[in-house]
Amino acid sequence: MSQLPRATIHLSNIVANWRALDGLHPGATTSAVVKADGYGLGAGPVSRALMRAGCSSFFVAYLEEGLALRKTLGLGPRIFVLNGPTRKEMSAYVTAGLTAVLSSPDHVKAWANAPKGTSALHFDTGMNRLGLKPSVLATALPALHKLQPVLVMSHLACADEKANPMNAAQRKAFDDISAVFPDTPASLANSDGCYLGKAFGYDLIRPGLALYGGTHPPKGFRINAGLTLDAAILSVFDAEMGEKVGYGATHTLAQDAVLATVGIGYADGLLRGGANALIAYLDGIACPVLGRISMDLVTIDVSKAQDKAKAGARVEFIGEHAKLEDQAARAGTLGYELLTGLSNRVERVYA
């Protein structure tokens, strides 16, 4: 059996998450954001599973991602490309049947002169990242209507902070924009936006991280683990109180312990920020990470699980016990970074 770190992608859980989110907004279309190779879990397998479950709209970031997904899924689903086209890419969008998300005056002008294709309009409602400024509605509305967009959208900046007043402010701004396009479907909610209530659902919701086991859902709403990241124990040994662990000797043992060295490190995506903070699980028993995380190795305290600890045993670093967002918080980051940071060395297994 391979000693490589392994990510088991639970497609049934991802589908279950999609269906649960769909249930939050009856009447709205639930799409799937599968950019960055399905947040590191494999856009192809994930999208095929979701399409079988009924998902008909997908979002990626780049043309290349859209072309690959079109090849995988065939001509049926709509594929939106969030970062929009360059002038040289226009014909590729049309040939592949991709929907260009237009978010700047240059996008709009170039698309107006391109071969006929489908487009969406992205408006900035306060995030100041991508998006047409609402002021263009006063000067360019006829040109925008002429494009016959299939979607009008914006993006929430603070959806993960339910009480943040910016959520309501952005919704109000988006209401004003979508009212100008009464016959065009509208979309505002990202993953956390799905939890803000039915007023944020509009016609289409765009969950991403929540599909894969991330975000902080409200009490009573379950998001399942999209993957289990585990790695093999390479050695088990006794260590004495006062001894040091790892590079820089950043951890000093407060008591005698049984330690295990596991074959996973920052080259696999286990962030160095998780040093002396991450919690691994051996057969469901919590085993703290001790010392710094090195390129290929990490040391854990298996004193409470020493009867389970042996070379070859698999240790969970993300999964049902090691919750994605909990681990991310311990590493000082977000679930997004843990997922998209999984390296090619991590073996992907689909279950």
**Catalytic member of 62, 109, 244, 247:** 247
CA angle, corner 236, sides to 230 and 242, nearest 5?
115
Of 206, 194, 198, 230, the C-alpha closest to 320 is 230
C-alpha span between 348 and 188 (Å, rounded) = 32
For residue 258, what are the β-bridge partners?
238
Q: According to the annotation, is 295 in a ligand binding site? A: yes
| CA neighbor of 81 nearest in space, from 99, 69, 104, 67 | 99
User: What is the token pair recorded at 41?
Assistant: 């879990």
Residue bearing tokens 């969008």: 93
195 is catalytic: no
Q: Identify the residue whose tokens are 């919690």.
A: 279
Three-class SS state of 135: coil
Clarify whether 116 is annotated catalytic: no
- The answer to whether 129 is annotated as binding is yes
Using CA atoms, how far apart are residues 246 and 234, in angstroms rounded to an integer?
Answer: 15
Work out the number of other CB atoms within 10 angstroms of the CB of residue 56: 14
Q: Specify the residue for token string 């999984």.
A: 342
The catalytic residue among 35, 39, 202, 266 is 35
- How many Å apart are CA 310 and CA 306, to the nearest integer? 8
Check if the beta carbon of residue 37 is closer than 8 Å to that of residue 66.
no
At 137, list the tokens.
């509605």
* Residue list for the binding site for substrate: 129, 295
Q: Which residues are catalytic?
A: 35, 247
Feature table: binding site:
129, 295
